[in-house]
Amino acid sequence: MSGDRARMRHVEHAMGTVFSFDIRMDGDADRDRDRVRAGLAAAVAGLHHVDEVFSPYRQDSQISRLAAGGLDLADCEQDVAEVFRHCEAEERLSEGWFTPRYAGGLDPTGLVKGWAVQRAVEMIASSGAAAVCLNGGGDVQLHGGPWRVGICDPRHPGGLAAVVQAHGALAVATSGPAERGCHVIDPRSGEAPVEGVASLTVVSRGLTQADARATAAYAMGSGARAWLERLPDTEGFAVAADGSTWQTSGFARHLAGRGDGADRAA
């Protein structure tokens, strides 16, 4: 980071997880800081509103009411229709390995957190921030930079399996048990994936897509690598249960040099 950049940090609890904001500004004029502070406040309020609308654990949320048949999609906020458009696109792309519908239920949370984080970063960036890093429960959206994001080693708590570097829009999403225990279900078997993948990380421009694709790829197991290779602007990195790793053909261009630390861990 250049020495003339002011910095702002904030931690917020929302959506059942922790959101860590790291914001950099060119210069330190009061008016610039005030604009960015207002952008941060709007982004934080937006995260809480997303929880109110999309939480499947709140009986009064629009998603819960929609799933129970007490509300029609046409009567929901426009954000609900937008999220389901993204969900349907990722469901088609993954041939059903990602789905917001399972066992008769309705739960888009495999995508909605990434979508909410990406939108929050865009709000802060539009307020004039030179660089933004937002880590939402282990998944990261970046703007500007430079940034370095560590990919946690699921076999060695506190250790890193790799470090991604970025200068510009980039998202890093990881599925696996490291952050909050395994929350991914194989939609075809109804069980947790058992093919020996300890964690699977997807790198893409936006966290909306990266979050959903990491979920789908982790559920796929052995088929994930070939699937990720076919996707545009999407790369993957996996750590197997035995400690071995694999990566897609374009992942290396995102790697930081040896000895480089990380600003955030994913």
Global pTM reads: 0.89
Q: What is the mean pLDDT of residues 155-166?
A: 93
Q: What's the pLDDT score for residue 184? A: 58
Q: CB-based contacts of 241: which residues, under 8 Å, 6+ apart?
A: 155, 196, 197, 198
Does the domain made of 5-265 have the CATH classification 3.10.520.10?
yes
Given a cut of 50, whether residue 2 has pLDDT beyond it is no
Q: What is the mean pLDDT of residues 228-237?
A: 98
Locate the domains of the chain by residue range.
5-265
Closest by Cα among 31, 256, 17, 4 to 147: 256
Given a cut of 80, whether residue 1 has pLDDT beyond it is no
